[in-house]
Amino acid sequence: MSSNDVIEAYVAEVMRHLPRKERNEIGFELRDLLTQMLAERTQDAATDDAVLDMLRDFGAPTEVAARYRPPGVVAIIPAEQTKTFALLSLGGIALQWALTLPRVFDGQPVVAWWFSWGLGAFWWPGFMVTMALIGMFARESGMFKRTWNPRTVDPERINRNAMAFGLAWYAIGVAFMICLPWTAALLPEPMPRIFAFDPTFLRERAPPVILLWLGGFATMFVAMLKGRWSKLTRRLSTAFALGFVVLLLWWMTAGNIFLSPATDEGAKAGLGLVVVIIVASLAYELYRRRPRIHAPKVKASGT
């Protein structure tokens, strides 16, 4: 990778920890500053080690971003981690509620659920705050120093071997799920009764998943052949993921999936977890995309 690529990746990492409206201007200035510093520091062609040493001396991206924020008291949760902390806190509560709310539909009083599992889910944010306090004391005591390595120089590049391995298991998993309604009947008792699908589900709500499976597989296969994600394949992948979220929510709310109540409840709880994972994955993909740096617009001076 070139020195410009490393600096670009470093500046992009800093920009992720800044307010959105200030990112481009600060990123543009920071990139120019680092380029000038590198030119002054290395008279000849800059080596990878020289670029990394300069950036590590300049500071970790989170520390550099903090320099552009107003001074204040030491925060328990650093400003650049506030959104992540909020998403993880609310996501943990939502996951616990999704796994325990089916008990209400089975006849447990809502009040009983609220004063047990409902309020009990709030242990998770308290646990996260405690860990944040420990992290704050560790940072202030100098127990560790953050270092930076360029991990996202080209976030659209694909590891073809890993993608091929994933697609192979994708195909195996899809084949297993498609054959499950028929293979379950061949299992010894009581397995056929436990995994018996609702006929209405198989007839009306199950077929669309095959189209989503095929579309998602084809999109990833094309991306693997090219060795990187394009705008089209990235948008198609996002569209299919959102389609899965809508379909799974429909499955969970429109009726039974399995004839056995216990199996149906467990399946819907599992689907709720899958929905959370897909949404979290989409949020992470959106986060890791490198911010683009543009030259600031020059305001026309009044006459």
| pLDDT at res. 107 | 74
| pLDDT at res. 123 | 85
Three-state SS at 235:
helix
Amino acid at 252: M
Q: What is the number of other CB atoms lying within 10 angstroms of the CB of residue 139? A: 14
> Rounded to an integer, what distance in angstroms lies between the CA atom of residue 246 and that of residue 243?
5
pTM value?
A: 0.52
| pLDDT at res. 303 | 43
Rounded mean pLDDT for each run of 10 residues along the chain, 303 residues in total? 76 80 83 83 70 82 76 57 78 85 75 82 85 73 61 66 87 85 82 87 90 92 87 90 93 90 88 89 74 58 47
**71: which 2 tokens?**
């001074």
Closest among 202, 300, 215, 303 to 258, alpha carbons compared:
202
Calculate helix-pair angle for 20-41, 48-58, nearest 10 degrees: 130
| pLDDT at res. 75 | 59
Q: Which residues contact 37 (CB under 8 A, 6 or more apart)?
A: 54, 58
| pLDDT at res. 73 | 44
DSSP code at position 295: P
Q: Which residues contact 179 (CB under 8 A, 6 or more apart)?
A: none
3-state secondary structure the chain: CCHHHHHHHHHHHHHCCCCHHHHHHHHHHHHHHHHHHHHHHCCCCCCHHHHHHHHHHHCCHHHHHHHCCCCCCCCCCCHHHHHHHHHHHHHHHHHHHHHHCHHHHCCCCHHHHHHHHHHHCCHHHHHHHHHHHHHHHHHHCCCCCCCCCCCCCCCCECCHHHHHHHHHHHHHHHHHHHHHHHHHHHCCCCHHHHCCECHHHHHHHCCHHHHHHHHHHHHHHHHHHHCECCHHHHHHHHHHHHHHHHHHHHHHHCCCCECCHHHHHHHHHHHHHHHHHHHHHHHHHHHHCCCCCCCCCCCCCCC
